[in-house]
Amino acid sequence: MIPINHPRRESLLIRERLVDGVKEGYVALQGLMAHGRGECFDYLIGEVTIDEALNAERAAVAALLLARNPVISVNGNTAALVPRDIVELAELVNAKVEVNLFYRTREREELIARVLRENGAKEVLGVGDDASCVIPELFSERRRVSCRGIYVADVVLVPLEDGDRTEALRRMGKTVIAIDLNPLSRTARAASITIVDNVVRAIPNMVKMARELRAKPREELEEIVRGFNNDENLRRVLMHISRRLMELAQRGVLLEFPKDSKTA
């Protein structure tokens, strides 16, 4: 039981949801390590959604709304952390939802699909024989995709992604939207739009933006996408991290704690 007043309560609750996903069989153990790596970068950012992330989220929603065939790719971590928000976002932008896994088993596919359906999804692609198309030049199990989904999509949202598939999807001519807390990752640098934010903040933000932007004229959405430069946005994220670390170093990161504090 995590105490109500624990200073890291929200972070610990997120970890527990992932651990529960492992116990239930749909989150891979490797997903816990991936989450820890992302949490490290979230510390550097300040564990908030910065302006650069909001800009990317807005551009991402505009791109999804403009798409002819948008698809949201879901892995175990995403299903554990934001399943209801994923389903709501998909409905707002008229996107399909597809399971895609690096550590793919039929059991994990079906468990993730069940989680999504329990949270309101009417159809989940990429399960079993539905994943019968292959992404060219990709050799992991992520190459297997739905012929009705990712394979024919023009815009793909890939929360918590790996670089190989992002690069392969870009080579196929697709717009790839990545959510990645590491602005230096291959995924972040290869994506069309990179959202450097925690997925538990990013997806709910995008739901709110989708409610607002779906009523906007197409020309306004196109202007939002045209005005976004991923390389420049990533540069600004790095500048934010650099400034924040310098400020912490100059004023002393331990000033907020008592001198005899034994915080871990």
**Which CATH number is 82's domain given?**
3.40.50.12640
In a domain, 13, yes or no: no
Which residues, given as ranges, of the chain have pLDDT below 50? 260-264
Range of the domain at 185: 51-238
pLDDT at position 262, please?
A: 43
Contacts made by residues 212-219, CB under 8 angstroms, sequence distance 24+? 213/58, 213/61, 213/62, 213/65, 214/65, 214/92, 214/93, 218/66
pLDDT at position 12, please?
A: 76
In a domain, 116, yes or no: yes
pLDDT at position 11, please?
A: 77
In a domain, 43, yes or no: no
Q: How many CB atoms lie within 10 A of CB 147?
A: 13
pTM value? 0.91
Please name the amino acid found at residue 243: R
pLDDT at position 7, please?
A: 65
In a domain, 11, yes or no: no
The total number of structural domains that make up the chain = 1
In a domain, 80, yes or no: yes
pLDDT digits (tens, 9 = 90+) for 205-232: 999 999 999 999 999 999 999 999 999 9
Q: Is 59 helix (H, G, I), strand (E, B) or coil?
A: helix
In a domain, 123, yes or no: yes
pLDDT at position 163, please?
A: 87
pLDDT at position 263, please?
A: 42
In a domain, 70, yes or no: yes
In a domain, 168, yes or no: yes
